[in-house]
Structure 1
Amino acid sequence: MIGQDKKGRPGKRALTAAAALLLGGLVFGAFRLARPAAKFSTAEVKRKEFVDYLEVKGEVKALRSVIIAAPYGAGDLQIMRLAANGAKVKKGDVLVEFDDTTVRQKLAQDQSALKSAEAEIHQSRAAARLKQEQDLTDVMKAKFDVQKARLDASKQEIVSVIEGEEAKLKLADAEQKVKETEAKLKADRSAAGADLASKQQKHDQAAFQVQQDERSLASLALRAPLDGVVALQNHWQPQGGPTPFKPGDRAWPGAAIAELPDSSKLKISARVEEAERGQLKLGQTGTVRVDAVPDGSFEGRIDTISPTASLDFGAGWPVPRNFSVEVAFSNSDARLAPGMGAVVRVAVERVSSGIVIPSSALFRKAGRTVAYVRRGSKFEETTVEVLRRSGDEALIAKGLQPGEQLALKDPTLAE
């Protein structure tokens, strides 16, 4: 018996030690859960309206934009000055200036040709006036000679027969001379008119060419047609691939140099998955948060939802198919600009009376969702069933009652 007791004592000691360790763990855990509740921030379980929000990420874009393109018929198009990418400009500001040396030289030559044409017209008109005055003088003299010859022929009764015949011949010659001078006057007028018309045509061509040069010269300075933000366009470089235009580059007629979005009329362009699209409706309103304007307060309205899915090439590889959504701003701010990131928060469903708690009061323990409910001076772990979450709030299906206080930090991890 004494031997058996001695043999059994080590087993009893091990059992006693294990029980002591277990009891110590329970006491330690109880001690940790029984820490004063005042050391932890708490939140109250409330019965109130729960709003399920859908957050849609997108980008601020302009409803209308203008492409600034290189002009046609302006010769060599080397960029001398160019507005910086992202620069804010006002209507009338110069965006692009091309080298105008060649056009100015051609303009000077054509202006010289125009002055020469104008001088030729003045000379032709002066010569035509002189010739016309001479022709008129000749006509007047010929008519005077006719009158004199008629007067001499009227003296036939008092002069000899021979003198009378001579007078008749002189009258006929004088009348013929009048016809010749009048015909010459008419012919000279016609020739002068044709010559003047030819020189006027030459003048008009020179004037047209000067106007073309002036238009080409004016087109080499591209100005902003509206207020906006400059977005330089890419062109292909053999060594660098697609790169934005810069001073020194040569463009071609019609090349898109820059895009100028109308910043006075903006929208938010976004892409959503099929499940999210099913929760959105045209006309729904929501709040808009713009990353670059953190202190701004904006409202938006869903203006467009695409009826069919399309490839979203901006979402990486493999290219997904999703739906496009456009949100119109209800208010504006001068600080808004195309390209800014934005988040639209839309209320897609409301539960008028639900048990609502902060999402930060929920914790995961051994695959379960739990909350720590305040019971006197300690917190009690309680399993809860979450119906849905939205933002920083959660709708609870069961496990909690309104008025209960929940720990916002896991009390079992507090030091």
Structure 2
Amino acid sequence: MLAPNLFGTVQVTQLAPIGAFAREKDLIVEFDDSEVLSRIEETQLNLQSTDQEIKRQEAELAIRNNQDQVQLLAAQYAVRRAELQVKRNELLSAIDQRKNILSLEQAKRSLAQIESDVKSGQEQAQAALALSRQRRNRFQFDAQRDQMRLRQTRLLSSMSGLVSIRQNVFGGARQFGAQVPDIREGDQVQPGMPMADVLDLSELEVAAKIGELDRANLVEGQEALIELDALAGKKIHGKIKSMSGTATANIFSGDPSKKFDVTFSIDMKELLTTVGAKPEQIREVLATAEKNRSRPASPVSLSMASFSTAAAAGAIDGSGSNGAQGGVQGFGSDQPAVMAAAGAQAEAGQSGGRRARPQTGATGGAQPAQSGSGRAAASQNETRGAASGAQGGTAAGGRGGQGAPGVPAPGMGMAGGRGGSRFSQQEIAAAKLPPPPGEDSGLQVLLRPGLLADLEVIIEKIPNAISIPAQAVFEKEGKPVVYVRSGERFEERAVRLAKRSESTMVIASGLKAGEEVALADPTRQGSKKKQEKGKTDGSASPMASPSGG
């Protein structure tokens, strides 16, 4: 939804609450219309005055035409009488004959002069009347334009969805790094400035970023496990929907490295069932999604957060996974919405901090291999991502895509001054603000844009895999080796690696499940002293056991 062009800045008088669930034809934003109403009244007065002026000119023109006709008849009668006098010249003297001829010529000249005056007078009156009519048309156009702008002062939702308010980026001078506030009632906004979005939660996506090194490990269609912070302990299945072909860097973030945008789709039936939706509610939500797909899409900006992936083998339920956190994003109505991670807006994505996963314990017994597949631990650090809503089909370029602002759907306050044109005057006048989030008990408010989610991307499934921490593998003479505990000592053993990630190594040969390996090189003097100290004070020694599955 964009601020209308009302000849200058406009003031927000009413604004839907952030996070409120709006239904179709609900009022989202209302602007101060006092100046528009004043212009409409002034234009109406000018229009009425011009109408009266046109009527006066038309009446004067009619009177003038009648007077001109009388003058023409009089002049024509004078010419006819002079012609009759000339016909009697045979009976008159030469002097009288000359007088009659001169009288006839004078009467003809008078008739010609009157005809010329009548024609020029009529042309002048018609020109003045045409000018008045043109002025009336201009006032009519101004009145229609102001009426259209008056309709733009109330922006209505063209579908059901969650209200997301944009940030007031033109709200005055601020220091560098200062937080940009959301648009509020009473703010002055510029014409064409994005105001709000309505996000459809019937389709959700997770938006995140990955590093350049991990981009090669991901392909579209890969399975992923999504765990929302709001639904702790419950994992939802999803897939990689799309990945950007180029990496970008955000200079305003703490991480200057370039990242690739990745969008994950979510199994909506599974998600809705997890949040406790009834079958009829699920059918209603999915029906809404199908209805919204037929609507025009509008672009929306996505603010995506980064997450780091790690090639993993083995995994939950027999599949390897990469740990990461991203934001969920949704689609639909006026805008598709992003749900798990971030801020709505459509453009209000927030990035979360990194959540560190604890390291493997220093000493531990060998773990027996599990049936199925071995699991390689995901990246040591999981990154939280933030996501924001996008308009289905997008917006800010492509559905779920960033970015760039585009033309909103009808009824959303289009650029060019056509916002709300799909609604009747009665619907616009009767529209009301949606209730605050706490007063709406609908299912849709249970799933909101801006939530955070942990992502585990299933890279590859390796059955019966043995994995150890990456720091347990050392390089000797160009070959990978590990130090396996044998009694009170550690013996060096060469291994062959099958897969590797930032935090996990999958061993193809050289180790057995249950054997203990050192996490520090025991051949170094510092490592020996550390081990001896650990035995003295009873602390854990730097060892780990390979896990199999």
TM-score, structure 1 as length reference: 0.59
CA distance in 1 between partners of 2:158 and 2:179 (Å): 30
SS at match of 2:125: helix
| CA spacing shift, 1:278–1:150, aligned 2, 3 Å | closer
List alignment gaps of at least 5 residues for structure 1. 1-67, 357-366, 369-386, 389-393, 401-415
| CA spacing shift, 1:273–1:149, aligned 2, 3 Å | closer
Q: Pick the aligned partner of 1:114 from 47, 69, 79.
A: 47
Q: Pick the aligned partner of 2:242 from 304, 315, 323.
A: 304
User: Which structure dedicates a bigger proportion of its chain to helix?
Assistant: 1
Q: CA RMSD in A?
A: 4.1
Amino acid at match of 1:210: A
Amino acid at match of 1:191: Q
Identical pairs, percent: 27
**Cα distance, 1:227 vs. partner?**
4.4
SS at match of 1:78: strand
Residue of structure 2 equivalent to 1:284 = 222
SS at match of 1:234: coil
> Contact (CA 8 Å) 2:24, 2:160: kept in 1 or not?
yes
> Contact (CA 8 Å) 1:74, 1:103: kept in 2 or not?
no
Q: Pick the aligned partner of 2:101 from 134, 149, 168.
A: 168
> Contact (CA 8 Å) 2:8, 2:190: kept in 1 or not?
no
| CA spacing shift, 1:142–1:298, aligned 2, 3 Å | farther
> Contact (CA 8 Å) 1:82, 1:96: kept in 2 or not?
yes
Q: How does 1:16-415 map to 2 (within 5 A)?
A: 68-75=1-8, 77-224=10-157, 227-235=160-168, 236=171, 242-261=180-199, 263=201, 266-272=204-210, 277-286=215-224, 288=226, 300-306=238-244, 310-311=248-249, 317=254, 322-329=259-266, 334=285, 335=444, 337-351=448-462, 354=464, 398=513
| CA spacing shift, 1:318–1:191, aligned 2, 3 Å | closer
User: Which segment drifts farther, 167-176 or 126-135?
Assistant: 167-176
CA distance in 2 between partners of 1:174 and 1:297 (Å): 109
| CA spacing shift, 1:264–1:144, aligned 2, 3 Å | farther
The 4+ residue runs of structure 1 with deviation greater than 6 A are 237-240, 293-298
CA distance in 2 between partners of 1:97 and 1:200 (Å): 36
**Cα distance, 1:229 vs. partner?**
2.4
**Cα distance, 1:135 vs. partner?**
0.8
Amino acid at match of 1:252: Q
> Contact (CA 8 Å) 2:28, 2:155: kept in 1 or not?
yes
| CA spacing shift, 1:96–1:140, aligned 2, 3 Å | same
User: Which structure dedicates a bigger proportion of its chain to strand?
Assistant: 1
| CA spacing shift, 1:302–1:163, aligned 2, 3 Å | same
**Cα distance, 1:97 vs. partner?**
1.2
CA distance in 1 between partners of 2:85 and 2:62 (Å): 35
> Contact (CA 8 Å) 2:207, 2:264: kept in 1 or not?
yes
**Cα distance, 1:83 vs. partner?**
0.8
TM-superposition CA deviations, 1:349-393 (whole Å, max 9, x none): 2345x499xxxxxxxxxx99xxxxxxxxxxxxxxxxxx99xxxxx
Residue of structure 2 equivalent to 1:64 = none
Amino acid at match of 1:188: G
CA distance in 1 between partners of 2:10 and 2:189 (Å): 5
> Contact (CA 8 Å) 1:286, 1:346: kept in 2 or not?
yes
CA distance in 1 between partners of 2:267 and 2:465 (Å): 33
| CA spacing shift, 1:330–1:135, aligned 2, 3 Å | farther
User: Which segment drifts farther, 208-217 or 327-336?
Assistant: 327-336
Amino acid at match of 1:327: F
CA distance in 1 between partners of 2:234 and 2:79 (Å): 102
List alignment gaps of at least 5 residues for structure 2. 270-281, 286-443, 467-483, 486-497, 500-505, 516-549
CA distance in 2 between partners of 1:250 and 1:291 (Å): 37
> Contact (CA 8 Å) 2:243, 2:263: kept in 1 or not?
yes
Residue of structure 1 equivalent to 2:321 = none
SS at match of 2:195: strand
Q: Which has the larger radius of gyration?
A: 1
If asked which structure has higher relative contact order (CA below 8 Å, sep 6+), I would say 1
CA distance in 2 between partners of 1:133 and 1:298 (Å): 90
**Cα distance, 1:185 vs. partner?**
1.0
Residue of structure 1 equivalent to 2:381 = none
**Cα distance, 1:293 vs. partner?**
7.3
User: Which segment drifts farther, 216-225 or 102-111?
Assistant: 216-225
